[in-house]
Structure 1
């Protein structure tokens, strides 16, 4: 992960191409820096004869004892690093992780050894030249996120290669502090590139090219020394027209960039507290600037967070101002492949460059069309015929509600008064978003409401599933056993609980069915008797399997299946309406699945439909849909729902949308994300996780449940002192802390896991963050529930490391 030290100014040097003078200019930078401070030079990978090695050139021409030059991985063949590694016949090729960790450790040692120094890390070849593993350098070194100096190409075609290299780095988020290149009197690339980059705020330095190499080694040394002396001008030396070309000016600029970055990071907490209004945060509880998390960058599953004061127990090598933090909420459940995932970044750029944003009504473009087709044939397979694109999960649910209410009112021919008294059937603790309509589809006493909230519906308390003391239990709410209160039913296994089809004839199914039918019948009798407080139910709205914001409550899937079956019975005495027949029709009530959180494999399942054995009439996907890069939502619907808006007048159309409806960038990113998800389904990581949970191949994924979290770890946590229960599916792990008060406003989980935000040290500590640094865990809680979430491609070693952290914290708190 990114490293930043106050007294070590480090820059990575990339070349626009091979043989552009990268080592020559880097040597000049080293010499200029060595005039005033110590300098560390690192060549991570070197290929070719030792006599031609870049670090040897640095040692020969550094001009000062203040310079230390090193190389980490050296190969004899003068070819691309990946090929050199293959030809070396060594037992193994260092992985990208090994390469990055070795570089990071070198930087830390250099920082610990210096009270003040400059550092230059010179890459090999061009920006996309391969590393030893074959990954391009721009990709492999992104984990380090070091400020960059780009050496431009002064040769024929160099304008194009320099700009291309710059854009390749920019697309991956690199900070490019300077572009440096030689002047060429014939091609004059620098004359074009200087104003080009100046318009983008990038500093450009141009220097005379080196003289031709002399045949005699002693003479060559002399003329090379003279050349370096000429371009590294003394500060009070030549004040003529060439003074601006001094490499000292480049060093001064890089120093200013380093100082400006430090100052910006230091100022951000105060500026934030003075200006920003956060979501879901009580500002009255934020006690000063130290409570503001300053995220400098993010990569893979980790934030890189600014910490101006390292821990007192930190070793000198751990004194970086940037600390890795595991993003254990997957940034509010959005991250699919971790942060800064290049395929999605390129997809966004591809669509932005081709379309920008274009109007969508009565139009089409490939990203939107492919997305709609992909979702109808994916999670909508077998039931959905239409896809409506909106901007986020809450809006997607508003669209779903509009669809359901229109379909219902057209069938029952409700008048205006009847329309105003429509409501939904749902579960207590539901959450469908923060727009007004989505809030109205939740109960009145929920925490996610506002003064204008008007709860429209009826909500049933659901039975839930959890693991306690190593055993699986289904907890039945008092409504199901009024005389006994809450009743816990022990289950054989999680697989048995989620075998919905096999449980349909069980006594619990009959209990659930009687309860749901009894509630609906009682409501209908009251409504027909003139009770104006009872709404006419017009839709069933469910968060399948897990109610996320409501406390990570894992609902007994059988209960949700029974709810769907009951409303689809079409019994008029329950306030339901019959269907018209056909697989594209809905009957009873339109059924909405809010899969904004749980959909697209967040729980290890593409959709809850196959597991429940019942598909919705309307479904909503978001969050995972775009991999956490841009907001987007899609509402899927049956043909029968779509036909409720069919007519000859515009007033009967679905008049819902926003200016950025079906924006091409979001659609293209979503299409790319869906491709990546399908690729990952067959990965060894998924196979290994499924095997640990004794689950078969992916072909059976719709009928079985599993988790990326280790089953033995989950069982152990469920037995830990202070833990009431634990539950997991797919990426999600939820730990409920024992707390008599409980509820969303409780601080018990936050208090229990507070030390996760500290650096954990010890002989057995696993360090899994990029760069091998000790890390913290950035987590969120829901009252007395702490939840932790992986991406779909989080490395097993990272998950094991986080499990180790969680277990240590529970041991300490117990």
Structure 2
């Protein structure tokens, strides 16, 4: 699968040796550590591994270690003859040049062999400095990050070494490495080692100095002098202390991981969880995350030689936030820069570059002629609160209603979910999410709607039983692109029936039932928490059209003055889940050809790194709050409104996604879904896979759109959030494949869904698809 686990075995104490620069003595210190280990732990096995080496074989680092430490296995995986940087040596080589994934797999395989023969110790020594490139040209700090070995940093005590040592440490720290020890040679001339020891002690990292090795002399006695140097060094207190630190850090890490679930079960209140079913055994302990995967504690290692960490595919995209991969260096660096430049600064009545740049970028890339203002909040639910305040005020002002009116309602869709704050909950019909919240008072009318899914190889627009008399029977299409061909479908009889039905319901609600509405709020294209339901996009488009055309129904002041003014009702699109390429496009509004008056964006906005939400609004909405009275303003805000770190990360995230689209990164995925019968609709999940699932007799329907895969299972006891039919399949995915990797997933009743990130590879997703198929066949 090409998925590499982080390295951790109980029986193998393994560290990676990085250098603050080239020629700082990594190999000498590695040799000294190995020699001291041999002396202190004579019964343990000791391994030294050099993944990549350049230069003559006779001068190779693994040869040096093997020559001076007895009874040790010293290995090199890839040797290049030219004594230059690995990326240059690799280009000049006629032999095998490994890709990054091949190199990591080779390291993992070799360490696995060591672990099988443990107990013991292993050192993995890098080449050059922290950012020296590997054979492919990737910085070693990034290249080796997936295995996330705890590190020993060899500092530089020479002139200029303070800066390079601190910079190397910060580079590793920012990428999520644990530096367990800094070690460097004493330098009586510059005393840099004294400064670095004090510097690192303030950061709770132990730094040790050891005597420098003897200088080379042309008398041929170099080997004897180095042998004496290593023998004497192995008896020093510094080396004794170093080994003690490495041993303790290894044991403490394992002990901490082993106890985390039990400790969490007694102090943490989990979201969306019934705690009567939560115990230490059900809690997933995550050590780190990288790319598409968590590194999770193995629940039942059979013996001390089994890996303690498992690669777990983040199948929920960490509650839909993950888009650019865990441990994304560009996002981390963006956050670090903004934190260093600003920290957090007051935003009311002020401006800073990250907030302004992000606002301009969002407005430009939405390609919505209505939107002209950006309001920042901290998450999707509060962004919806802001949107509702905007819309209801705009309706009240334009229609001349008392702005404090309490009976204003919204129009929406059944099964919608807009968040868990009180106002956001009131925009959804009664459901398991809100019906037991005392202050909930669902204020609205929620339309039943036709849904879309693939069944037995065909895409079906399914009319619910309650609407068949009004709308007719379900329709069948050869491709999903046909369903999104809205310009063609509007003139079909079904489109006319949609329009007639929607207008009839609205008229009855307002004229006959005397209900007063202030907004239309929709999750465009796909309902998220409501069950990953793909709604017929034509129904949503015509719902917006009819509402906007019904200006005389909703209020006497509902007329527009410019083409971008709202009419009928302000239209809110909740794109918290579906926006920013989650479904394959920057804005999911483009799928239904509608420009909302208010649009809410979070989740992928920051690529999965930090909370932030942006509520975008039109000029006509904004103008509803203009008045000489302060009390007429939008009196809503957060202490961390438009925090510079979030805005900077969001802009970096958006830039990355736009670059991926411009560089045609997703073209291979799109090619599988290419269809001439409608607009470009595609998924990162393969067309063949989605179609194959649709034929399974245990599956009611399946959708694949953008990064989203949703599988609806047949449940004779009834569907919905309270269904438990999908839990067996969820458990099988979690148990994993060959104890090498597994899949973390979330369920919504009888719906189980998986989400890739936007950086997922085709190879990995195809192997996940095969595993999902096998689990379905066994589970049901």
Whether these two folds match at TM > 0.5 is yes
- The answer to whether residue 23 in structure 2 is matched with residue 13 in structure 1 is no
2:534 to 531, 554, 558: 554
Aligned match of 2:290: 299
Q: Which residue of 1 aligns with 2:136?
A: 133
Gaps of 5+ in 2: none
After superposition, the C-alpha distances for 1:751-773 in whole angstroms (9 at most, x for unaligned) are 23321112323xxxxxxxxxxx8
Moved more, 499-508 or 378-387: 378-387
Q: CA deviation at 1:811?
A: 1.9
| Residues in 2 aligned to 1:27 and 1:457: alpha-carbon distance in whole angstroms | 73
1:577–1:587 CA contact under 8 A, matched in 2: no
**Cα distance in 2, alignment partners of residues 134 and 777 from structure 1:** 31
TM-score (norm 2): 0.97
Whole-angstrom CA distance in 2 between matches of 1:61 and 1:410? 85
Task: Name whichever of 793-802 and 649-658 sits farther off.
Answer: 649-658
**The one of 432, 439, 444 aligned to 2:418:** 432
TM-fit CA distance, 1:577: 4.9
User: 167, 171, 180: which one pairs with 2:183?
Assistant: 180
Separation in 2 of the partners of 1:441 and 1:325? 35
- Partners of 1:332 and 1:473 lie apart in 2 by 28
**Equivalent position of 2:54 in the other structure:** 47
Inter-partner Cα distance in structure 1 for 2:590 and 2:609: 28
> Are residues 1:250 and 2:248 paired?
no
Separation in 1, partners of 2:551, 2:639:
42
Q: 1:179 to 1:299 in 2, by over 3 A?
A: same
State the shift of 1:477 in Å. 1.8
Paired position in structure 1 for 2:224: 222
Show the counterpart of 2:680: 704
What does residue 644 of structure 2 align with? 664
3-state secondary structure, aligned to 2:98: coil
Aligned match of 1:717: 693
Contact 2:732–2:779 (CA<8 Å) still a contact in 1? Answer: no
Measured after TM superposition, the shift of residue 683 of structure 1 is: 4.2
Residue-by-residue CA offset, 1:390-446 (whole Å, 9 max, x unaligned): 1101111111111101110000111266x2000100000000011111001011234
Asked if structure 2 preserves the Cα contact closer than 8 Å seen for 1:213 and 1:220, the reply is: yes
Find the counterpart in structure 1 of residue 766 from structure 2.
Answer: 800
- TM-score, scaled relative to structure 1: 0.93
In 1: Cα distance, 2:302 partner to 2:508 partner: 61
Task: State the distance in 2 between where 1:385 and 1:432 align.
Answer: 23
DSSP 3-state at the match of 1:481: helix
Match of 2:81 among 70, 76, 82: 76
Cα distance in 2, alignment partners of residues 782 and 269 from structure 1:
24
Indicate the residue corresponding to 2:756 in structure 1.
Answer: 790
Is 2:502 the partner of 1:516?
A: yes
Question: Is the contact between residue 611 and residue 704 of structure 1 (CA under 8 Å) also seen in structure 2?
Answer: no
Task: Work out the CA distance in 2 between the residues paired with 1:550 and 1:308.
Answer: 31
Matched, 1:742 2:719: yes
Q: Secondary structure at the match of 1:521?
A: helix
Is 2:16 aligned against 1:24? no
Taking the aligned partners of 2:250 and 2:269, their CA distance within structure 1 comes to: 29
What pairs up with 1:462-541 in 2 under 5 angstroms?
Answer: 462-482=449-469, 487-528=473-514, 534=515, 536-541=516-521
SS at match of 1:9: strand
Find the counterpart in structure 2 of residue 261 from structure 1.
Answer: 253
Partners in 1 of 2:299 and 2:363 — Cα distance? Answer: 49
**Which range moved further: 643-652 or 401-410?**
643-652
Give the equivalent residue in structure 2 for 1:422.
408
CA distance in 1, matches of 2:229, 2:65: 14
> Residues 41-440 of structure 1: matches in 2 within 5 Å?
41-62=48-69, 64-65=70-71, 67-90=72-95, 93-114=97-118, 116-217=119-220, 219-233=221-235, 243-245=236-238, 247-286=239-278, 288-310=279-301, 319-415=306-402, 419-440=405-426
Task: Give the whole-Å Cα distance in 2 for the aligned partners of 1:757 and 1:721.
Answer: 23
- Matching residue within 763, 777, 780 for 1:811: 777
The CA RMSD over aligned residues, in Å, is 1.7
**Which secondary structure does the structure 2 equivalent of 1:378 belong to?**
helix
Indicate conservation of the 8 Å contact 1:577/1:589, yes or no: no
User: What corresponds to 2:746 in structure 1?
Assistant: 780
Structure 1 position 231, deviation (Å): 1.4
Conserved 8 A contact 2:370-2:565: no
Matched with 1:730 is: 706
1:104-147: per-residue Cα shift (whole Å, max 9, x none)? 11111110112x10100000000000000000000000011000
Matches of 1:760 and 1:183, distance apart in 2 = 50
DSSP-derived class of the 2:16 partner: strand
Q: Which 10-residue stretch deviates more, 377-386 or 297-306? A: 377-386
Secondary structure of residue in 2 paired with 1:102 = helix
For 1:25-53, what per-residue CA distance to the aligned partner results, in whole angstroms no more than 9, with x for missing partners? Answer: 11000011112021110000000111211
CA displacement at 1:685 relative to structure 2: 4.2
Change (3 A) 1:545 1:483: closer
Q: 1:386 to 1:576 in 2, by over 3 A?
A: same
Misfit runs of 4+, over 3 Å: 573-577, 682-685
- Matched-pair contact (CA < 8 Å) for 1:266–1:308: no
Separation of aligned partners in 2, 1:689 and 1:576: 49
Preserved contact between residue 46 and residue 73 of structure 1 (Cα < 8 Å): yes
Of the three residues 561, 569, 573, the one matched with 2:549 is 569
- Distance apart, 1:695 and its partner CA: 5.1
1:632 and 1:248, CA in 2 relative to 1: closer, same or farther beyond 3 A? same
Structure 1: unaligned runs, 5 residues or longer? 234-242, 529-533, 762-772
Is 2:376–2:615's contact at 8 Å kept on the other side of the alignment? yes
| Separation of aligned partners in 1, 2:474 and 2:56 | 72
Q: Distance in 2 between matches of 1:131 and 1:59?
A: 23
SS of alignment partner, residue 657 of structure 1: coil
8 Å Cα contact 2:432-2:721 kept in structure 1: no
> Does the 8 Å contact 1:521/1:575 carry over to 2?
no
Query: What CA distance in whole angstroms lies between the structure 2 residues aligned with 1:557 and 1:694?
Result: 19
The answer to whether the Cα contact below 8 Å between 2:701 and 2:712 also exists between their aligned partners in 1 is yes
Query: Residues 414 and 527 (structure 1 numbering): CA distance in 2 closer, same or farther, change over 3 Å?
Result: farther
Residues 1:689 and 2:669 aligned together: yes
Q: Distance in 2 between matches of 1:83 and 1:416?
A: 70
Question: Could you say if the C-alpha distance between residues 255 and 351 of structure 1 is closer, same or farther in structure 2, counting changes exceeding 3 Å?
Answer: same
- Shift of the 577–785 alpha-carbon distance from structure 1 to 2, 3 Å rule, reads farther
1:602 aligned residue (571, 582, 586) = 582
| SS at structure 1 position matched to 2:720 | coil
2:411–2:521 Cα contact (<8 Å) kept? yes
